[in-house]
């Protein structure tokens, strides 16, 4: 189902629609078939205008079995079509999904929707009976038959999928091309012939900015943004990571791109992931480690080491539902506190957040630029929703990205190198890389003075603690100011950070269309916050902070700006916001 969904999305993107996707799948690789907890779903939202979210409610629900219907029926609009495989809606299927009667639609109160009953299993078997494939392989093609039907409903030409099949199977399984083409076409023709489909739709291309586009997922964009930073800094990329859902895609993506000099080390554990990266940073690479919440917990001590040694390091946390193992495949924004505070001692680390799948590219580039130019570990927060989600992206030109200039140490004749002698403006220390003659020095987790000599002197410790903090705070001079969407002052500013961007933007624009004076500000830079943050927030009587946790960013803002009237909209269900929920919260706050 994940493949079918992404094929439909890619085809729509190539056609020119604006779109957003949200794969929602169980944690188990082979979850119990036919049960509600085992449903693997893929949500696609396409349109001719602004699309910022995967959508709240659907126009077409494809239910391959009763469990899929049960898990998703509540998301069907009044006008929705429900396309389902009658062969799977037998007694056994209904009982596995926990239905008590033989009419699941009445049971779920969706019997008034447009129901398109198609014997998809049997039709697929019939379509491929002469293909020479065994029954198991034939049944795997059911999704392709269904995709053919969906293509008819949304007036999509099949050529894109034909091309995809060619490129996927040409080398290893050329025998798979013809049957897949056939079953897809049969599905399309079947939908055209049955006359059970009351409406078909044509979604015209969106008025997009001119240029070359591609689809990109958040995890892919993080990997590519890091490669871009590697190119712009002239430093090879090193990624030390341990596989963890939903961050693994970044390591997998980087492992492909050795032609750009990327070295990936699949470490023996999360701690080795970050410690190999710290070693690589010391040795002069652009060092990265990628993880999700539980892995970040394991890396805490080493993060302190990176702060103490003042080495550049990008730590990517693709957040998932916690605490502990939580719900690994579901999205959340619950690691903000951990990113900001989860270490021993006074241990400041800049925090940057990505706000959409494509924005992961810029966010990763900026995180790496800050790390390399300010000699500090940087936390990049992504989310499962962004990492696995995709959107069309207008491909930028690397010529438009700035150079990255790390503060390499310059030799001073006759003087011993002082590793913590800071730049007076930025408080950044010089970076001397092993192999450079005359710069031999020692760094480590113990407190040192500016000369790099061990020191437990009380005044020196306090000075270094303060300088490490001031160094990070000064990064605010190098990041963009906070911008406001909508009126620049008024009764309500809606604030968010990270992957809620699209939902909040849609909600705020909906509210404004209804005549409400609502503005929006979204934080890509969380620590330090942009310089004008206090000034922006103070122009509004009330600030509504929306986030997928119990109020971590709201508490943080309240701590920074105690005078603000902050109200909160929180959701901790492992799922993104619905635009409707946010519109309600806005109306309540006004």
Could you say which of 39, 110, 222, 287 contacts another protein (CB under 8 A)?
287
At 116, give phi and psi (nearest 5°). Answer: -110, 100
Can residue 162 be called a binding residue for another protein (CB under 8 A)?
Answer: no
Can residue 517 be called a binding residue for another protein (CB under 8 A)?
Answer: no
- Residue matched to tokens 């033989």: 102
Nearer to another protein, 52 or 448 (CB): 448
How far, in Å, are 63, 75, 192, 487 from residue 124 at the CA level?
16, 28, 16, 55
Could you say which of 236, 407, 487, 491 contacts another protein (CB under 8 A)?
236
Could you say which of 33, 140, 258, 539 contacts another protein (CB under 8 A)?
258
Region of residue 39 (left: phi > 0; alpha: psi -120 to 50; beta: else): beta
Could you say which of 101, 195, 259, 324 contacts another protein (CB under 8 A)?
259
Bridge partner residues of 290 (DSSP): 316
Can residue 5 be called a binding residue for another protein (CB under 8 A)?
Answer: no
Question: Euclidean distance between the first and final Cα of the chain, in Å?
Answer: 41
Helix 142-153 and helix 2-15, axial crossing angle in degrees, nearest 10? 30
Structure tokens at 161: 């999928």
Can residue 47 be called a binding residue for another protein (CB under 8 A)?
Answer: no
Could you say which of 77, 181, 441, 555 contacts another protein (CB under 8 A)?
441
Nearest approach, Cβ of residue 205 and another protein (Å): 8
Can residue 446 be called a binding residue for another protein (CB under 8 A)?
Answer: yes
**Footprint of another protein on 350-409 (CB under 8 A):** 394-398
Can residue 93 be called a binding residue for another protein (CB under 8 A)?
Answer: no
Nearest approach, Cβ of residue 394 and another protein (Å): 8
**Footprint of another protein on 186-205 (CB under 8 A):** 205
Region of residue 90 (left: phi > 0; alpha: psi -120 to 50; beta: else): beta
Could you say which of 28, 453, 462, 481 contacts another protein (CB under 8 A)?
453
Bridge partner residues of 313 (DSSP): 377
Residues touching another protein, count (CB under 8 A): 70
Can residue 157 be called a binding residue for another protein (CB under 8 A)?
Answer: no
Nearest approach, Cβ of residue 85 and another protein (Å): 29
Nearest approach, Cβ of residue 285 and another protein (Å): 4
From CA 331, how far away is CA 545, in angstroms rounded? 18
Can residue 251 be called a binding residue for another protein (CB under 8 A)?
Answer: no
Could you say which of 139, 181, 257, 474 contacts another protein (CB under 8 A)?
257
Q: Look at residue 500 and give its three-state secondary structure.
A: helix
Can residue 582 be called a binding residue for another protein (CB under 8 A)?
Answer: no
At 576, give phi and psi (nearest 5°). Answer: -65, 165
DSSP of 276-326: HHHHHHHTTSEEEEEE-HHHHHHHHHHHHHHHHHT--EEEEEEE-B-STT-
Binding region for another protein (CB under 8 A)? 10, 13-14, 16, 205, 208-215, 224, 227-228, 231, 236, 238, 240, 257-263, 265, 267-269, 271-272, 275-285, 287, 301-302, 304-305, 309, 394-398, 434-446, 453-454
């Amino acid at each position: 189902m994940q493949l079918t969904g992404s094929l439909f999305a890619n085809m729509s993107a190539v056609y020119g629609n604006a779109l957003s996707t949200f794969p929602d799948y169980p944690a188990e690789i082979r979850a119990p078939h036919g049960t509600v907890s085992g449903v693997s779903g893929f949500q696609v939202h396409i349109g001719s205008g602004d699309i910022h979210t995967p959508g709240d409610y659907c126009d077409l629900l494809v239910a391959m079995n009763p469990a899929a219907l049960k898990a998703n029926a509540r998301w069907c609009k009044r006008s929705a079509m429900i396309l389902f495989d009658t062969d799977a809606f037998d007694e056994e299927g209904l009982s596995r999904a926990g239905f008590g009667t033989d009419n699941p639609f009445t049971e779920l109160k969706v019997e008034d929707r447009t129901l398109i009953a198609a014997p998809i299993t049997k039709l697929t078997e019939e379509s491929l009976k002469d293909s020479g494939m065994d029954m198991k392989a034939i049944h795997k093609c059911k999704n392709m038959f269904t995709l053919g039907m969906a293509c008819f409903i949304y007036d999509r030409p099949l050529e894109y999928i034909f091309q995809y099949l060619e490129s996927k199977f040409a080398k290893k399984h050329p025998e798979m091309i013809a049957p897949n083409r056939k079953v897809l076409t049969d599905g399309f023709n079947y939908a055209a012939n049955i006359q059970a489909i009351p409406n078909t739709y044509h979604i015209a291309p969106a008025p997009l900015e001119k240029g070359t586009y591609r689809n990109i997922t958040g995890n892919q964009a993080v990997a590519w943004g890091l490669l871009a930073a590697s190119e712009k800094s002239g430093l090879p990329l090193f990624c030390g990571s341990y596989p963890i859902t939903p961050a693994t895609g970044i390591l997998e993506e980087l492992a492909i791109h050795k032609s750009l000099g990327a070295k990936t080390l699949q470490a023996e554990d999360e701690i080795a992931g970050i410690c190999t990266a710290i070693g690589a940073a010391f040795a002069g690479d652009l060092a990265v480690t990628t993880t999700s919440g539980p892995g970040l917990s394991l890396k805490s001590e080493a993060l302190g080491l990176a702060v103490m040694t003042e080495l550049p390091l990008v730590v990517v946390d693709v957040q998932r539902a916690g605490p502990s193992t939580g719900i690994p495949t579901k999205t959340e924004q619950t690691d903000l506190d951990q990113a900001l505070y989860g270490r021993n001692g006074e241990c400041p680390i800049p925090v940057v957040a990505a706000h959409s799948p494509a924005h992961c590219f810029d966010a990763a580039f900026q995180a790496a630029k800050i790390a390399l130019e300010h000699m500090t570990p940087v936390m990049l927060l992504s989310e499962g929703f962004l990492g696995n989600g995709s959107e069309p992206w207008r491909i930028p030109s690397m010529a438009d990205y700035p150079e990255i200039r790390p503060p390499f140490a310059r030799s001073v004749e006759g003087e011993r190198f002082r590793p913590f002698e800071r730049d007076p403006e930025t408080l950044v220390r010089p970076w001397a890389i092993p192999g450079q003659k005359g710069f031999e020095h020692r760094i480590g987790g113990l407190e040192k003075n500016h000369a790099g000599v061990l020191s437990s002197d009380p005044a020196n410790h306090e000075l270094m603690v303060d300088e490490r903090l001031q160094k990070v705070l000064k990064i605010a001079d190098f990041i963009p100011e906070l911008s406001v969407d909508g009126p620049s002052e008024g009764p309500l500013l809606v604030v968010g950070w990270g992957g809620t961007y699209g939902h909040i933007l849609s909600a705020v624009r909906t509210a404004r269309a209804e005549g409400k004076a609502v503005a929006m500000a979204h934080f890509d830079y969380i620590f330090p916050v942009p310089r004008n943050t206090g000034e922006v927030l103070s122009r509004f009587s009330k600030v509504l902070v929306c986030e997928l946790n119990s109020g971590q960013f709201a508490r943080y803002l309240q701590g920074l700006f105690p005078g603000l009237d902050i109200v909160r909209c929180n959701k901790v269900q492992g799922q993104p916001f619905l635009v409707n929920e946010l519109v309600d919260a806005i109306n309540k706050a006004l």
